[in-house]
Amino acid sequence: MSKSRICVGAIAGAYGVRGEVRLKSFCADPGAIAEYGPLWSEDGARQFSVTLGAPVAQGFAARIGGVITREQADALRGVRLFAERENLPALPDDEYYHADLIGLDVFDTGGVCLGRVKAVLNHGASDLLELVLPGRKGAVLLPFTQAIVPTVDLASRRIVADPPEGLIE
């Protein structure tokens, strides 16, 4: 996937029998997902126009251009939707798109490389950086807070972190 596109949602399957889909939005303002279109499949081969319907559990009922049957809607289950970066709102200095953080190297305050960001997770309380550490199996979850991650330098592709004692040994 091109760095010029950001994942903004996913199709969770059919909703009803008239070709609507259940759409999960990953946007800070979930209803804004339709404003960022057209949306693209991860491989960039398919383009989707989206019209949001009523809010439903964990998302929205939505119409996808050209989808008119339940079978067509269900065939889109699992498709992740991407928007052009230029269609997304500019972020304040202390906010980042998850896609921009993945792959960055993480250093401690002394300049020692701790690892690389594999994923950004959020289980309700706050974001966590999943770090892959050199020479270690598994991953470490680092809270993505200002106190623990004081510096994110996208231009240099690096993060400076001050992890709690004992988190990374």
Output the CATH code of domain 98-161. Answer: 2.30.30.240
Low-confidence ranges of the chain (pLDDT < 50): 1
Q: Which contacts of 113-120 are long-range, i.e. CB under 8 A and separated by 24 or more positions?
A: 114/161, 114/163, 114/168, 115/140, 115/168, 117/159, 120/144
pLDDT tens track for 107-143: 999 999 999 999 998 877 788 999 998 888 888 999 9
With a CB cutoff of 8 Å and minimum separation 6, the contacts of 144 are 120, 126, 127, 128, 129
pLDDT at position 1:
45
Output the CATH code of domain 5-87. Answer: 2.40.30.60
CA torsion through residues 134, 137, 138, 141, sign: negative
The residues spanned by each domain of the chain are: 5-87, 98-161
